[in-house]
C-alpha cells in the first residue's frame, strides 16, 4: 500500500493541506511542523502520486520522443546515442521521457496527437526532419511545444538545432579536390530527408568551388544502411569509368562502400578515396579509418532537450535556432597510407 499525504497527516496530527505545504517548503508553515512532516515522510518512504499531481497541475513534466522506425532490423547507432543525450538531460531537469516507435505516416501523426491530448507529454523532440514534414506542420499549427534536430526549407519559424551539413560536405569535397580527385561518386539519402538535401547541396557546391563537373550517373541513392552502401559501392566501382572518390552522405553507407572496394581488391585510400559523414564511433576504428565530418549527436540531444524544456516552462531562450559548425576528420580512407604499415610489422 503506497503512502499518501493522508497517512502523513494522521501521524503528524495535522491536515493534509499543511503536510502538502510543508513538503513544498512554503513559508507559511512553522519550522517545527516542517521538520516533523519531513521526518515522518522520510520514515514512511512517501513518494507523491504522480497522477494526482499531474491531474491537478495540468502538466505532465514529460517529453515525448517518437522514433521513426522502418523495418524490424532497425539498428542505427544514431538513436542510442541521441537517446542517451536527451534521456540524461531530461533526468537532470526533472522530466520524464516517453518513447514511442512508429513508421512515418498517418499512425505516426496520430501518435503525436494522442500523446499531447491525453495529455501524456508537454512537448516533443523531432528528429530527421523531412521534406514537407507533417509532424512539424501539425505541431506548429496546434502550437504544441517542440524542438527539432534538423531544419526545413519552406518553414523556418520553429526551434531547432542542426549541423551545417552543407558546409561539412563542402569541406569534404574540397579536401578530395585538393587531393586531385576529379571524378566523384555520391551516395545520396532518400529524398525525403532534409539532412540529405543539405549535404548533397554542399557536395555540389564543393564541386562548383573547384570548377568540377558531376556525372549524373555517379549520383546514386541508398537507404542509409551499410548494406545499401555495399551494393551501391559495387555498382559504382564496376562501371567502365569508375569514380576515383566516393562521397557517402553518412558513415554507415561509407563503410559499405569500403567493404565493396576491398571485395574488389582495391586499396581504399590509395586506389579509391571514400568518405562518410557523422563520425560514428565505428568510423575511427575501421580499416582504413574513415574520413568523415563529426556530428556531436549526444550533445545535440542534450541541447534539444534543454531547449524544449525551457520552451515548455516558458523560460527565455538565448537562441531558438542553432546551426553548429562541423569539423572535418581526415583519416586514411581518403589520404591513404604512406605504405609504412603495408611494408610489414
Partner DNA sequence: TTGAAAGCGCTAACAT
Partner DNA sequence: ATGTTAGCGCTTTCAA
Which residues in the 47-76 window bind DNA by CB under 7 A? 48-49, 52-53, 55-58
Number of neighbouring beta carbons within 10 Å of residue 276: 33
| Total interface residues for DNA by CB under 7 A | 29
Which does residue 15 bind out of DNA, its own copies, none, counting CB within 5 to 8 angstroms by kind?
A: DNA
129-140 burial, b for 16+ CB within 10 Å, e for fewer?
Answer: bbeebebbeebe
57 Cβ partners below 8 Å, 6+ apart? Answer: none
Is the CB of 4 or the CB of 201 nearer to DNA? 4
Which does residue 280 bind out of DNA, its own copies, none, counting CB within 5 to 8 angstroms by kind?
A: its own copies
* Residue 84 binding its own copies, by CB under 8 A: yes
Cell reading at 94: 526533472
In Å, how far are 57, 69, 70, 227, 302 from 73, measured between CA atoms? 41, 9, 8, 12, 27
* Residue 51 binding its own copies, by CB under 8 A: yes
Q: State the minimum distance, in angstroms, from the CB of residue 11 to DNA.
A: 12
Q: State the minimum distance, in angstroms, from the CB of residue 136 to its own copies.
A: 21
- 227-246 footprint of its own copies as x/- string (CB under 8 A): x-xx-------x--------
DSSP code of residue 291 = B
Is the CB of 10 or the CB of 101 nearer to DNA? 10
* Residue 38 binding DNA, by CB under 7 A: no
Cβ pair 65, 124 in contact under 8 A = yes
Closest C-alpha among 40, 50, 45, 44 to residue 19: 40
Exactly one of 29, 83, 136, 258 binds DNA (CB under 7 A); which one?
29
Three-state DSSP class for residue 163 = strand
* Residue 72 binding its own copies, by CB under 8 A: yes
Place of cell 514512511: 44
CA distance 20 to 9: 9
Contact stretch for its own copies (CB under 8 A) within 26-34, 100-108, 145-153, 175-183: 100-108
Cβ pair 219, 213 in contact under 8 A = no
Is the CB of 18 or the CB of 62 nearer to DNA? 18
Exactly one of 10, 17, 92, 319 binds DNA (CB under 7 A); which one?
17
Strand partners, 63: 97, 123
Place of cell 551494393: 231
Q: State the minimum distance, in angstroms, from the CB of residue 305 to DNA.
A: 24
Exactly one of 105, 287, 313, 319 binds its own copies (CB under 8 A); which one?
287
* Residue 94 binding DNA, by CB under 7 A: no
Cell reading at 246: 566516393
Number of neighbouring beta carbons within 10 Å of residue 239: 12
* Residue 112 binding its own copies, by CB under 8 A: no
Residues that bind DNA in the complex, under the rule CB under 7 A: 2, 4-6, 13-18, 20-21, 23-24, 27-30, 32-33, 46, 48-49, 52-53, 55-58
Amino acid at each position: 500500500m503506497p503512502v499518501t499525504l493522508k497517512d502523513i497527516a494522521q501521524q503528524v496530527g495535522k491536515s493534509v493541506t499543511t503536510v502538502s505545504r510543508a513538503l513544498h517548503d512554503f513559508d507559511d508553515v512553522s519550522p517545527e511542523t516542517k521538520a516533523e512532516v519531513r521526518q515522518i515522510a522520510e520514515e514512511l518512504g512517501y513518494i507523491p502520486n504522480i497522477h494526482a499531481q499531474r491531474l491537478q497541475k495540468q502538466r505532465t513534466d514529460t517529453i515525448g520522443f517518437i522514433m521513426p522506425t522502418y523495418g524490424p532490423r532497425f539498428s542505427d547507432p544514431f538513436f542510442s546515442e541521441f537517446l542517451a543525450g536527451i534521456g540524461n538531460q531530461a533526468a537532470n531537469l526533472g522530466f520524464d521521457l516517453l518513447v514511442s516507435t512508429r513508421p512515418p505516416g498517418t499512425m505516426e501523426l496520430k501518435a503525436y496527437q494522442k500523446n499531447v491530448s491525453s495529455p501524456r507529454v508537454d512537448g516533443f523532440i523531432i528528429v530527421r526532419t523531412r521534406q514537407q514534414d507533417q509532424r512539424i506542420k501539425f505541431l506548429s499549427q496546434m502550437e504544441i511545444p517542440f524542438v527539432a534536430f534538423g531544419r526545413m526549407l519552406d518553414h523556418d519559424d520553429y526551434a531547432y538545432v542542426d549541423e551545417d551539413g552543407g558546409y561539412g560536405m563542402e569541406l569534404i569535397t574540397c579536401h578530395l579536390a585538393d587531393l586531385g580527385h576529379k571524378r566523384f561518386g555520391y551516395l545520396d539519402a532518400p529524398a525525403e530527408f532534409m539532412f540529405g538535401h543539405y549535404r548533397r547541396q554542399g557536395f555540389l557546391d564543393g564541386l562548383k568551388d573547384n570548377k568540377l563537373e558531376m556525372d549524373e550517373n555517379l549520383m546514386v541513392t541508398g537507404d542509409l544502411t551499410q548494406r545499401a552502401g555495399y551494393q551501391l559501392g559495387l555498382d559504382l566501382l564496376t562501371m567502365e569509368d569508375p569514380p576515383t572518390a566516393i562521397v557517402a552522405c553518412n558513415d554507415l553507407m561509407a563503410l559499405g562502400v569500403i567493404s565493396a572496394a576491398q571485395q574488389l581488391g582495391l586499396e581504399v585510400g590509395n586506389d579509391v578515396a571514400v568518405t562518410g559523414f557523422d563520425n560514428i564511433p565505428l568510423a575511427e576504428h575501421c580499416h582504413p579509418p574513415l574520413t568523415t565530418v563529426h556530428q556531436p549527436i549526444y550533445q545535440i540531444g542534450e541541447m534539444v532537450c534543454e531547449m524544449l524544456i525551457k520552451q515548455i516552462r516558458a523560460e527565455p531562450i538565448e537562441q531558438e535556432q542553432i546551426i553548429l559548425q562541423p569539423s572535418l576528420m581526415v583519416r586514411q580512407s581518403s589520404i591513404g597510407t604512406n605504405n609504412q604499415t603495408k611494408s610489414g610489422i
